[in-house]
Amino acid sequence: MNFLWLLYASLQKKSYLCGQKIGHTDSSRIHELLEGAMTDKIDDRETFMKGIDYSYYYEQEE
């Protein structure tokens, strides 16, 4: 089984949030965004920590 991490750093915040908003009616946009931002570097601590930092950044109000 292959595991993948999401590289939030490679996603644009506005595109991601827009995809989240319309995702409940049309998930194709968010699926497309996330598919292009996956990595197999699951044992890389730096990638993991960056992912946590970016996920908090994406949740912040502008």
Q: What is the pLDDT of residue 12?
A: 79
Higher pLDDT, 22 or 49: 49
Amino acid identity, residue 38?
M
Residue 38 has pLDDT above 70, yes or no: yes
Q: What percent of the chain has pLDDT over 70?
A: 90
pTM listed for this prediction: 0.53
Residue 19's CB is within 10 A of a number of other CB atoms, namely: 19
Residue 17 has pLDDT above 70, yes or no: yes
Q: Return phi, psi of residue 6, to 5°.
A: -90, 125
Report the candidate in 34, 30, 7, 31 with the shortest Cα–Cα distance to residue 18.
30
**Helix residue spans in the chain (DSSP H):** 13-22, 28-35, 45-59
Residue 1 has pLDDT above 70, yes or no: no
